[in-house]
Amino acid sequence: MPPIEAPDLSFAALAPLLLVFGAACVGVLVEAFAPRAVRHPVQVGIALVGTVGGFVTTLLLAGTGEVTAGGALAVDGVALFLQATITALGALSVLLFAERSLDPARSAFVASAAVPAGSARDVQLAVSERVQTEVYPLVTFAVGGMMLFTSANDLLLMFVALEVLSLPLYLLCGMARRRRLLSQEAALKYFLLGAFASAFFLYGLALVYGATGSVRLAVIREGATGAGNDLLLVLGLALLVVGLMFKASVAPFHVWTPDVYQGAPTPVTAFMAAATKVAAFGAVLRLLYMAFGTAEEIWRPLVYALAIASMVVGAVLGLTQTDLKRLFAYSSIAHAGFLLTGVIGLSGDGEDPGLAATMFYLLTYGLTTIGAFALLTLVRDGSGEATHLSRWAGLAQRSPLTAALMTLFLLALAGIPLTSGFTGKFAVFRAAIETGAWPLAVVALVTSAVAAFYYLRVVVLMYFSDPAPDGPTIGVPGSPTTAVLAVTAAATLVLGIVPGSVLDLAQSAAVLVG
Amino acid sequence: MSDVPWLLAMIVVPAVGAGVVAALPAAKAGLARLLALAVSLVVLVLAVLAAVAFDPGGPRFQLTSSAPWIPDFGVEFALGVDGIALVMLLLVGVLVPVVVGASWHETSTGKRSMRTFWAWLLALESTMVGVFAATDVFLFYVFFEAMLVPMYFLIGGFGGPNRQYAAVKFFLYSLLGGLVMLASVIGLYVVSNSQLGEGTFAFDALRQLDIDPGVQKLLFAGFALAFAIKAPLVPFHTWLPDAGAEAPIGGAVLLVGVLDKVGTFGFLRYCLPLFPDASRELAPWVLTLAVIGILYAALLAVGQTDLKRLVSYTSIAHFGFIALGIFAFSTEAATGAVLYMVNHGIATGLLFVVVGMLIARGGSRRIADYGGVSSRAPLLAGVFLLAGLASLALPGTNSFVSEFLVLIGSFPNRPVFTVVATVGIILAALYVLLVYQRTMHGPFRGVLAAAEEPPPPTAARPDGGGATAVLTAPAPGRTAPVRDLSPRELAVVAPLVALVLLLGFFPQPLIALVEPAVQATMSDAGVDPAGTSPAVGEEGTD
């Protein structure tokens, strides 16, 4: 019997992942051993060290392009760019989690998730200042899973990463301090549908393995070349795409999105909306470009149709929403469609505008989304956050700064020039038109205009309506939320006005190895 | 003097001014408007200096400057003007101080501070300069869209009772057009990438392209839709009467005076030179819309009961004439169209300003609420008449020259369209004279008369339907005699009145400034300049 060979591990290339997962594990230990009084600051510190450390190490690794861990992990430009994005968004989300001055009970998270909602103990806990600190290791694990997801060079590892990122998210969704039943319903819904999606992914994986005899992306690529008629492969790819599109909340796999976004604690929604999308699209890009880059004719029509469906569903159904969190959920569905427009922009030859454009779009969308959700946490009334649209009427007169920032983020989501959203849209549409997919780009532009209507409606409400007499109060954010707002607003403006250097970075990072 | 960055200064000065005004404390609204006036006058001076530095006989684009902006997209922050853009900049320079003066006593409906009004106004000026000065198509698009934001806040924050609806409608119409244009802009980039080996948005490079006719049609359609919405041509016009009626007077003047000109400017600057074959082939469609617009909007104008809506509809009719001049493919008609753009800005601007002064006195926008005003405010009535006559293009006023040039220039190429369009002149006389007669002549009556009388116990307040909150209607129980134009108001209308007469009698300097640029545009569009050029401005073009 031959000796088992240990896979080669390039620890330098794995440093960001190790740091984040290490921080998550330390967080679990702290949870078990540290006294309650010091847990919160320590957990926040550890989570920030993990995510910020991960961010810095990915930047230090820039330019790396290698396959490691026995070929299961690809540390290349795309992976590093997206990992840096995920860790940055993760760090911002941790700051939102750590906000303690907005809620009267000093946290957005339930004190003890196991206590039944509405019980005497729950009522007692709801006003206590006890805070939940398990959320920090959970979110760190999710960040680690997402990072792994974007660099998985192997379908099995991709599946493992999918679960690592999903399970903490399911839990986090159910931990809202206010409106707990809604939150628990969201968690259960997300879990059940997510489990379905994982099963689809796994089934697809099995079929692809059956067709090509490997789970390694590079080997699948060889097997897939010119295999357009292989039923097993086509089915397998379709099922894999279903699993990924679920995570990316692409229509018609989007039905969970509005409910979960609405029910989850807002900092979690922010994290989910921004970082999950980056991770899911990272995996989509790697799967489609690496494993099936030579079998474009299989997935291109599929992605084309999904992009149109997603844009139309997101833009049209968003028009009828009256809750801001649901509105942003439909916005996120529409943006998933715009991102797929960038995925269509794969040209196949050396220079690949689609890849860089999609990566840049993910960055801008993530930052803007976190900023927008951070603002939602500020506007509150008796029952928690006031997310109903009508509650935002006349907000500009109560708090001009909140209204101005919200307008900035909304204009960015609508893609108005001089905001980051426009640069991103321009990049993906250019990529699509360059590959001849101009009908798709026209659909995207028209749906952009439709979606602009519901963004504008919020602006109209904030600026041109008179405030309700018993309107919500605008909380004064503590330093963590203030920092998040400052960073996201600055990024939204800078990436809109002088995007050159970041575009360069995305362009030079648009390299996949495998 | 031509190496001074005049254009950049004209963009930066109002932008910085807007920032400063916005940063003032809310209580300093008085200082804010002084600052706004000062900044707008500085821009006017800059525009005049730029015009002095401009050599009509020189190269087509002058005062150029360029800096890389987004190298990955091949975008340059490239500025420069030809004669057409220059006169539009002069128009912006003149109108904004007038608007500041006309809005001097503007108050907001809510608790909003007026300093935001002045800040948005200056921000609007900055983007308006940018949109005419850009020589990079991407930059043009950016200003084209950015322009919407200040106007949206001006209408939505400071407009009439139906302002929310009007603001959103305005924004969405323009945004939709802009986004479709964006597809064409990217399409142009892709074509340039394949033909020149390097993607570019520079206008001068793009007009060298040899684009396949089928592609040309698609790209033309994208641009044309955006410009047809902006201009606006029937049937894309329905947003303008709403926006024009609900906007505060200052916003309305700039909306029809300048913003809408971006549409016709865009046809002339981008559609004709970049897509000559498509423009030629699709010209009958645009001309049909233009002529329908002339007649349909004029008829609607006759039937309006709201003063501001009436002026908005007259503008739509005038834009039909401008589009006719542009798509007639003759240098003469296009020169007329460019003059028309300037003259319409002045004449309709004046009309809106005077209408605003009347509404400020009566507190109502309804025509039926006024009568016999000339007996109490003869100066106001006089200026109203002059503005109206300029609007119907009476000889001796500025608009006559441009309308005449458009019609005689278009006739040889497009006799049928021209003849039908001529009917619009008669309708113009109808709507102008009718509204003048109804409001200014006859016995003194209506809301102004009611305000002068001691209030009978049953005195009903003027119908609230048209009342704007722009200025306070006289409170019941107090009598207020109707005042004629105040010195401030005289100072506001004087420059426009002077320009109406000056350009009516001496249009030559303007024609000389515009003509070489028009010839260059027409030669890009494949028109032989020798055959149809009027006998002025013999300067050669590059």
Number of neighbouring beta carbons within 10 Å of residue B114: 21
- State whether B167 and A434 contact (CB < 8 Å): no
Rounded to the nearest angstrom, the minimum Cα separation between A356 and chain B is: 11
Rounded to the nearest angstrom, the minimum Cα separation between B80 and chain A is: 21
Residues of A with CB under 8 A from a CB of B: 394, 396-397, 411, 414-418, 422-423, 426-427, 429-430, 433-434, 438, 441-442, 445-446, 448-449, 452-453, 456-457, 460, 463-466, 498-500, 503-504, 507
In this predicted structure, which of A61-75, A340-354, B220-234, B404-418 has the lowest mean pLDDT?
Answer: A340-354
Q: For chain B, how many structural domains are there in total?
A: 1
**Domain boundaries, given as residue ranges, for chain A:** 11-509
Please name the member of B148, B156, B176 whose beta carbon is closest to the beta carbon of A460.
Answer: B156
Judged against a pLDDT cut of 90, whether residue A313 lies above it is answered with yes
Judging contacts by C-beta atoms under 8 Å, the chain A residues touching residue B72 are: 499-500, 503-504, 507
Q: Supply B142's token pair.
A: 């950016």
Please name the member of A397, A430, A446 whose beta carbon is closest to the beta carbon of B186.
Answer: A430
Rounded to the nearest angstrom, the minimum Cα separation between B236 and chain A is: 16
Judging contacts by C-beta atoms under 8 Å, the chain A residues touching residue B182 are: 426, 429, 445
Cα(A62)–Cα(A77) distance, rounded to whole angstroms? 7
Chain B: residue whose CA lies nearest to A407: B149
Judged against a pLDDT cut of 80, whether residue A4 lies above it is answered with no
- State whether A500 and B182 contact (CB < 8 Å): no
Question: How large is the ipTM?
Answer: 0.86
Residue-by-residue pLDDT tens, chain B, 542 positions: 557 788 999 999 999 999 999 888 877 778 888 999 999 999 999 999 999 999 888 888 888 888 888 888 888 899 999 999 999 999 999 999 999 999 888 776 656 678 889 999 999 999 999 999 999 999 999 999 999 999 999 998 888 888 889 999 999 999 999 988 998 998 898 888 888 888 889 998 888 888 888 889 999 999 999 999 998 898 899 999 999 999 999 999 999 999 999 999 999 999 999 999 999 999 999 999 999 999 999 999 999 999 999 999 999 999 999 999 999 999 999 999 999 999 999 999 999 999 999 998 888 889 988 988 888 899 999 999 999 999 989 998 999 999 999 999 999 989 999 999 999 999 999 999 999 999 998 888 888 888 776 655 544 444 444 444 444 444 444 456 778 889 899 999 999 999 999 999 999 999 999 999 999 899 888 876 544 444 333 333 33
Q: What's residue B71's pLDDT? A: 84
Number of neighbouring beta carbons within 10 Å of residue A2: 4
Cα(A236)–Cα(A208) distance, rounded to whole angstroms? 5
In a domain, B361, yes or no: yes
Judged against a pLDDT cut of 70, whether residue A511 lies above it is answered with yes
Contact, B371 vs B446, CB < 8 A? yes
In a domain, B542, yes or no: no
- State whether A416 and B186 contact (CB < 8 Å): no
**Average pLDDT of A360-373?**
95
Question: Testing the interface with A: which of B186, B217, B218 to mutate, by most A Cβ within 10 A?
Answer: B186
Cα(B450)–Cα(B369) distance, rounded to whole angstroms? 10
Question: Testing the interface with A: which of B12, B72, B153, B181 to mutate, by most A Cβ within 10 A?
Answer: B72
Contact, A324 vs A261, CB < 8 A? no
In this predicted structure, which of A355-364, A381-390, B14-23, B167-176 has the lowest mean pLDDT?
Answer: A381-390
- State whether A504 and B72 contact (CB < 8 Å): yes
- State whether B179 and A445 contact (CB < 8 Å): yes
Chain B: residue whose CA lies nearest to A461: B164
- State whether B182 and A429 contact (CB < 8 Å): yes
Number of neighbouring beta carbons within 10 Å of residue A209: 16
The parent domain of residue B221 ranges over: 6-532
In a domain, B257, yes or no: yes
Q: What's residue A351's pLDDT? A: 58
Q: What's residue B404's pLDDT? A: 92
**Average pLDDT of A477-485?**
92
- State whether A457 and B193 contact (CB < 8 Å): no
Contact, A151 vs A73, CB < 8 A? yes
High-pLDDT (> 90) share of chain A, %? 56
In a domain, B537, yes or no: no
For residue B512, with 0-12 CB atoms within 10 Å meaning exposed, 13-18 middle and 19 or more buried, which class applies? middle
CB half-sphere exposure, A485, CA atoms < 13 A: 23
Chain A: residue whose CA lies nearest to B161: A464
**Average pLDDT of A476-487?**
92
Cβ-based contacts under 8 A for chains A and B: 96
Q: What rounded mean pLDDT belongs to chain A?
A: 89
* Phi, psi (degrees; rounded to nearest 5) at B196: -100, -5
Judging contacts by C-beta atoms under 8 Å, the chain A residues touching residue B168 are: 453, 456-457, 460
Q: What's residue A127's pLDDT? A: 77
- State whether A426 and B110 contact (CB < 8 Å): no
Judging contacts by C-beta atoms under 8 Å, the chain B residues touching residue A415 are: 179
Q: What's residue B468's pLDDT? A: 42
Q: Supply B329's token pair.
A: 């493919």
Q: What's residue A473's pLDDT? A: 84
In a domain, B363, yes or no: yes
Rounded to the nearest angstrom, the minimum Cα separation between A412 and chain B is: 12
Number of neighbouring beta carbons within 10 Å of residue A494: 13
Best CA proximity match to A403, nearest among A454, A465, A449, A453: A465
Q: What's residue B480's pLDDT? A: 61
Q: Supply B82's token pair.
A: 């030809």
- State whether B110 and A449 contact (CB < 8 Å): no
The sign of the dihedral angle between the CA atoms of B301, B302, B304, B308 is positive
Number of neighbouring beta carbons within 10 Å of residue A17: 24
- State whether B167 and A464 contact (CB < 8 Å): yes
Judging contacts by C-beta atoms under 8 Å, the chain A residues touching residue B218 are: 438
- State whether A438 and B73 contact (CB < 8 Å): no
| Residue A399 pLDDT level (bands cut at 50, 70, 90) | confident
Contact, A284 vs A343, CB < 8 A? yes
Q: What's residue B460's pLDDT? A: 44
For A223, residues 6+ apart whose C-beta sits below 8 A from its C-beta are A211, A212, A213, A214, A233
Rounded to the nearest angstrom, the minimum Cα separation between B33 and chain A is: 21
**Average pLDDT of A232-253?**
91
Please name the member of A434, A456, A463 whose beta carbon is closest to the beta carbon of B157.
Answer: A463
Best CA proximity match to B272, nearest among B321, B202, B334, B314: B334
Q: Supply A427's token pair.
A: 């990049």
In a domain, B67, yes or no: yes
Chain B: residue whose CA lies nearest to A466: B110
Chain B: residue whose CA lies nearest to A440: B183
Q: What's residue B89's pLDDT? A: 94
Chain A: residue whose CA lies nearest to B191: A434
Judging contacts by C-beta atoms under 8 Å, the chain A residues touching residue B145 are: 416-417, 422
- State whether A464 and B149 contact (CB < 8 Å): no
Q: How far is CA A147 from the centre of its chain?
A: 11
Judging contacts by C-beta atoms under 8 Å, the chain A residues touching residue B146 are: 416-418
Helix H segments across A174-295?
A: 180-212, 217-224, 231-247, 256-263, 266-271, 277-285
The sign of the dihedral angle between the CA atoms of A191, A192, A193, A198 is positive
Rounded to the nearest angstrom, the minimum Cα separation between B207 and chain A is: 20
Please name the member of A438, A457, A500 whose beta carbon is closest to the beta carbon of B72.
Answer: A500
Please name the member of A433, A464, A499 whose beta carbon is closest to the beta carbon of B164.
Answer: A464
- State whether B172 and A456 contact (CB < 8 Å): yes
Residue type present at position B529: P
Judged against a pLDDT cut of 80, whether residue A497 lies above it is answered with yes
